[in-house]
Chains A and B, each alone.
Chain A
């Protein structure tokens, strides 16, 4: 269906199966910042084994690198020996590399043939005057576009993504995720539909510390991709979900929208619903739809979106994919199925189904203090966007 990407090489040759759709996803955050091993998230995603078909699985984990917590942790996936040297030359020419190592892997079960994984803990040199996050985004794009056989899996601080072809439980074993400790975990079990099942196309998709796991399909991929290109983002991973990671970076980090506003951009309310809103809300919704028409996501989706400060769940505006949220003590869960949550937390304080298009936001207690200031900032940013052309990096 959607034609995605034009690369000449693939990491481990994409499979070509096409079947019905039903990805599975789950995530949880310890809002007090307490870190736990990957063991519970692995057990939870195993409960939804049948939602995937072995053509993709992955995890995002936050808080896993406390010894390098301020460094941009670049996770790289290599399909070719030559790509390693070329990428490392490029990375070292742009960034100060504090530490580099192979990501420990353990080929087992269904995951035997695999690309090579390395990680680099890096700092932006003091001499760089441009915004450091923008600088890293630009480097990520350059590696993905320019170097055949090299893909950046994640590039955030104190977080990492681990993904590939296989069932998520096999990939968890492959990456030894029970040996990592994180305060926020997301997991994905893939059932590829319109795009190939290959290592780079597994979820999560990331940029900086933004990560996304997604069930559904983004029919507006073409429009979204072209829109993002005008801001310097290049889609190279041949899966529709990639655009959502970059949209979050654009809308929230660069344009300083709140998560609520970003959600309204991606899952815009119907005009007839906007007509019934109170005046100020109506004005804002109208502006968001007008300014960000090309950032609206068309098609069914339920996604979980992680960043250093929290976890967000969002459904498309007519809720065509399942999503359930639950709370137990300091922990918030979001998943495709309640049973996956109950597998690791039989008792819950609260469980609810989100409303279509309404984001569910669970922040770290430590990140919560920033929120009001951020919200004010966003309202101002929205004013300044009105009637003004927004330029890319």
Chain B
């Protein structure tokens, strides 16, 4: 029994005490394997469901399949798991930035099952974000089991996310970069090594169980000429327009759907039904849509500019109907599909407008479109570039990938300053990246900066007695408290007594209650220091009294706050 308890505190094992990175690497491998397995389970379940329903797609009632899937997914999340819909990545980022990566155990399976139901039945969504959520929750709960601290837990959450992405795409570099760029928002040496190891572990699990294959390998190599490079500029604009369109369509649907006053599961079913009907006209919109990407990269997608353009718009509509109306899943896969449709349509438009030019294979533009779309919507160009490199194996298009990703990110950022994953958090003021002002302030509390050495005085006290108190005090502020109840009544600043200081006649005629400030701003223990600083700035004051249960508890001053701020900033940035 004692041995078991000892292993639950691995940080105490002498080998790991040499450097806690060794501990994180060791546990990171476990997390990477577990999250890799979770990704494979989802992948296999999706293949099973999609294959199972494939022969029913031609039936007249097939449009009800996505409705049933979305409805079951919503019921599962809401009623059984007691979680909200959505893909979960913002939840992971929120937990990392505010609560040291604490995630519920149930999150490690909830999104896997719900997204499997949504996507497997034909809903337009991706399995990647749910596996990120699942992997992150696995990492968090393993850290919890071993009683690791916040910083170590955050690293393991990153390990889980990296292992999941690495496993589902067989792309270890992408797993690592996605985690650093999107989930953690920092590139620190402490994190990189365990996350890289977890990413490799996740990818290896995938390779052992599913084979070492490149997801969207092209049968031909792409020879990009100068004219194609020039055309990449236009492709970047097209991809960024598509990402803007998808972002806004999703947000619009999120706003419209609550207006329909029906239960959540019925709302999800309505969205699923609409996707099912859309699927009759454009079957490519159903499910994750990876078959279409294969066809486009191989150059075997049905000919016609209109078909590609319509498929692109239809996929945007289907994704926003699925996710905006309560279905479960992520936007990774839809982004790849929409991006490749956009790239294909753009290539066909160029070929139509300039028939005499020798353009590169349209499959190349499809994969460049994917990178542009990913970079635009996630505003994470490195993730876009490395993902496409690893899932297509087309390293010869590196230069064009960089151009398309960089321009697409820049254009999208101009219109949408926060990425799809971060927009809600930014609007709620809850995106707290390490080392930023808001994060430093959020990690401090009033209890840490409160000064309790103020001497309280009573309203009935004469100025002479008060001056005696002043001589023994080291502070300029004096709380006035009711003698009977101890309730806080107001404050006296040293400035208040200045007019009377040299008039000794007033010493025995003026009472404290006549000169005290009763209209002073007060703060409470649970107020955020960010708000406290704003009050200080607005009122042009350097200290504020802290009042709890009508009693004076102490003072908060800008000077002490700055001291603690520097300490906290040092702690946060020394880990980078």
Bound together: no
Measuring CB to CB, which residues of chain A are less than 8 angstroms from any residue of chain B?
none
Measuring CB to CB, which residues of chain B are less than 8 angstroms from any residue of chain A?
none
